[in-house]
Amino acid sequence: MSARRLKAAGLWVATFLLMLVMCLPGLWVVLSAFRPNREILAKPPIWVPQRLTLDNFGKIFGFGAEQVAIPVGSYFLNSLVIAMTSTVIALAVGIAGGYAFARFRFRGKNAVFLGLMLFRAVPGIALSLPIFMLWSWIGLINTRPGLIIVYVSLNVPFTVWLIDGFFRQIPASLSEAALVDGCTRWQAFWRIEFPLARSGIAAAGVFAFLTSWNEFALASQLTRSTASKTLPVGLMDFTAQFTIDWAGMCAMAVIIIVPALILTFLVQRHLISGLTFGGVKG
């Protein structure tokens, strides 16, 4: 075997081992979701599941002999409504903002864009105290709109930045030719530029959705009851003073993971092309 092939084989083996190490925690969570709690807590640990069961899922959804008083359905609905609404709003603002930054010149353009990027650089948890105090004053604590506004503000800078980059890759001459042919500015955007930037918009939408769907730190501070709690916050309901229901927690974690995986697979083609579009020169 030549040195080049040996190096390539070593790189593939190293990559496989690295990916295996990264995936082991997730695999452990998925397997634990289908195992009884006593097997998860067994000492010495049982690495290979002895019996797989759906009882953990039935228990958290209120089926079977054992049940837990955790409104998983309400938490799922809250997460879905909050994530979908914040993603749609962030995409709408991101498309408008990204197109404006990519196509128009106006006073203070660079300063506004820099301000958006600096805001995105601030960790969300660092804003938890001022947001909590402000939301308390105006009555948005423990409400869906309160959390939606927060997630929109977190996602807008990223969506504007990402979509702006994709619109810059599209030659302005295409929309100018459409204007010459009689299209309005809106028609040129909707018929010419929007379809070409669709992959980038899909990528921005996936990242915005996953940010809202998985976020825990801010949601744990701003939600208090079933009316607004999301799935990540609901995981804490499985912890008691002296015990933790690891099986139920892992089952709920799988419920959190599955919609994100489904969404990623549905838009996989657009996501891959969107992430690679900016690095390809025509």
Whole-number pLDDT of residue 281 = 40
The SS3 call for residue 239 is strand
Q: What are phi and psi of 244, to 5 degrees?
A: -135, 130
Distance, in Å, from the CA atom of 124 to the CA atom of 153, rounded to the nearest integer, reads 10
Whole-number pLDDT of residue 102 = 87
Please list, in sequence order, all residues whose beta carbon lies within 8 angstroms of the beta carbon of residue 113, skipping any fewer than 6 positions away. 101, 160, 164
Segments in the chain below pLDDT 50: 278-282
Closest CA to 274 of 209, 204, 221: 204
Sign of CA dihedral 30, 35, 40, 46: negative
Closest CA to 152 of 212, 217, 104: 212
CB 190 within 8 A of CB 39: no
For the chain, the structural domain boundaries read 3-53, 72-277
Q: What is the dihedral of CA 96, 99, 102, 107, to 10 degrees?
A: -40
Domain covering 72-277 in this structure, CATH number: 1.10.3720.10
Distance, in Å, from the CA atom of 94 to the CA atom of 72, rounded to the nearest integer, reads 32
The pTM (predicted TM-score) of the whole model is: 0.84
